[in-house]
Amino acid sequence: MVINHNKTGLQRVADVEVPDAFFHRMHTGIKQIDELYGGEGILPGSIATVAAAPGSGKTTLYLQVCQALCNQGYSAAYITGEESTEMIAYTCRRLNITDVLVACETELENIVEFMDGVDFIVYDSFPCLTVDGKRMNRTGQEQAISNIVRAAKTAGTAMSIVLHVTKSGGYKGSTTIPHAVDMNMSIEVDSEDPSVRYISTEKNRYGSLAEVSTYFGYKGFDFDKKVESSGKMAKATSKGDKKAKELQAIKSLKEPPGITVSRVCKALKVDATRANYLLRSLVQEGALEKFGRGQDAVWKHTHV
């Protein structure tokens, strides 16, 4: 499937031919994962990113997604530039994963070649990519993500790319990456119960945004067990209530000084990933305006 991103003239929208693949999504068989992808499953040729703090479960999540797709008759591959295939295989044995294709590779050209004949591919992680054996600068990273997007859409292979998160909660590498792809996903650890993970989509060009909660342990993500509001989580009766309270707390921060990630972390007792997520939510709803980039970024009330 080739999704046409070439420039066109004006035409009546009813006359635009929608690719057949839009109506034949890949269902994983895991309801919560399909919900994250807009409720209809994974669109062939689409590109997603997942970002989270170390230890949040990025590798585990996507190994499970790959196996789920294999269970549905699709082919799925996990390509790593950080770990050996032996290490991935060891993790897979713990998670009871048997059918996923694995490889250790960093060269961009070879990774693009892996797309042929594979329905779904994960690359862990973007900073490991090389061209002609060399790590890329930001300009090179922007060209690389452009090449990956083009190749995936030409091959009809859906792809997920693992991103690193900086101490300030931002993406490591070119900021073009999350804008160039179709979907951005994040994983957060519950501050009250470290066995609970919140997986959310912050952008999805081909479906609605979603947020799911699930337990995470030695055997991976348990999508069958419902997260209950009990024990240590009693203070936050639901994730929706918790988020609403956090957003209101940020809105209540006075200026000057401007609002920063570190200030939100200290005021709400959350990590930088959660702080950035909440700040992005407030920017999207028009309550805050962002000034600057990276660690120098400052948010201010819009007073609308």
Encode 231-253: b = buried (16+ Cβ within 10 Å), e = exposed: eebeebeebeebbeebbeebeeb
Q: Where are the domains of the chain?
A: 13-222, 238-301
Residue type, 56: S
Maximum separation of any 2 CA atoms in the chain, in Å: 59
Q: Are 173 and 141 in contact (CB under 8 A)?
A: yes
Q: What is the dihedral of CA 14, 150, 293, 131, to 10 degrees?
A: 180
pLDDT at 237: 44
Task: Tell me if the domain spanning 13-222 has CATH number 3.40.50.300.
Answer: yes
pLDDT at 169: 62
pLDDT at 191: 76
Q: What is the pTM of this model?
A: 0.78
The pLDDT mean for the chain works out to 88
User: Residue 45, by phi and psi: left (phi above 0), alpha (psi -120 to 50) or beta?
Assistant: left
pLDDT at 170: 65
pLDDT at 284: 77
Closest C-alpha to 42, from 31, 30, 57, 26: 26
Phi and psi at residue 261, to the nearest 5°: -60, -45
Q: Are 151 and 111 in contact (CB under 8 A)?
A: no
- Six token digits for residue 121: 């591919």
Residue 201 pairs in a beta bridge with: 185
- Going by the DSSP 8-state scheme, the letter that residue 132 receives in this structure is T
CATH topology of domain 238-301: Arc Repressor Mutant, subunit A (1.10.10)
pLDDT at 2: 44
pLDDT in tens, 77-102: 999 999 999 999 999 999 999 999 99
Residue ranges, the chain, pLDDT below 70: 1-5, 167-170, 229-240, 304
Residue type, 147: N
